[in-house]
Amino acid sequence: MRSILFVLALLALLLLVNCTTKPIYHRGPLKEQVLRPRTGYEGRLTNKRCIERKKYSEECLKFDVVEYDLNRTGVRNLLRDLKFVCNVRGARFVPCEKSTGICQLHRVKVGWGKYEIQVKKYLSMNDDYGFLVGADTYCASIDSTVGRQMFDSL
């Protein structure tokens, strides 16, 4: 009886080892993702990853894209809470608090020892989207590994 169970267990193990499954590509937490505007996704930042590669090659056959709509207040607040910063041709922008775009902020002295944060430049995720795509814009959390590497040089 034991030998039959042993043989069955061995066969089951062999079957499991020989089964080929497609690898699972894990996206990771939002904080660790790099987001960018892409053609066809107006108003949104996206994260794109390869989910199917050509055999024995690095060429990607199929992509998966996740969209983050900056027209939604909740999405903007989430990206702000995660300290996302966007690089637009070397300038730093953050998701705006009250409008559907990204804002370049600066401190303005408003009194003796008092400063106020004001919007220096605003780029709309709707009207300026073509410019953002063409400017090779990318966004990442400054608290993430990839974000620290990207924004260290700015």
The 10s digit of each residue's pLDDT in 71-104 is 999 999 999 999 999 999 999 999 999 889 999 9
Please indicate, yes or no, if residue 125 is contained in any of the structural domains.
yes
At residue 145, the pLDDT reads: 85
Question: What DSSP line would sit under 82-96, residue for residue?
Answer: TTEEEEETTEEEEE-
Q: Which strands make up the sheet holding 114-124, listed edge to edge?
A: 114-124, 101-111, 91-95, 84-88, 138-141
- One-letter amino acid at 43 equals G
Please indicate, yes or no, if residue 10 is contained in any of the structural domains.
no
> Based on the structure, what is the number of domains in the chain?
1
At residue 107, the pLDDT reads: 86
At residue 20, the pLDDT reads: 47
Q: Give me the domain span that covers residue 124.
A: 24-149
Please indicate, yes or no, if residue 86 is contained in any of the structural domains.
yes
Q: pLDDT under 70 in the chain at which residues?
A: 1-27, 153-154
Q: Which two tokens stand for residue 21?
A: 């499954």
Please indicate, yes or no, if residue 68 is contained in any of the structural domains.
yes
Please indicate, yes or no, if residue 15 is contained in any of the structural domains.
no
Please indicate, yes or no, if residue 88 is contained in any of the structural domains.
yes
pTM to 2 decimal places: 0.75
Please indicate, yes or no, if residue 154 is contained in any of the structural domains.
no
Q: Which two tokens stand for residue 154?
A: 């700015």
At residue 5, the pLDDT reads: 58
Please indicate, yes or no, if residue 133 is contained in any of the structural domains.
yes
At residue 21, the pLDDT reads: 47
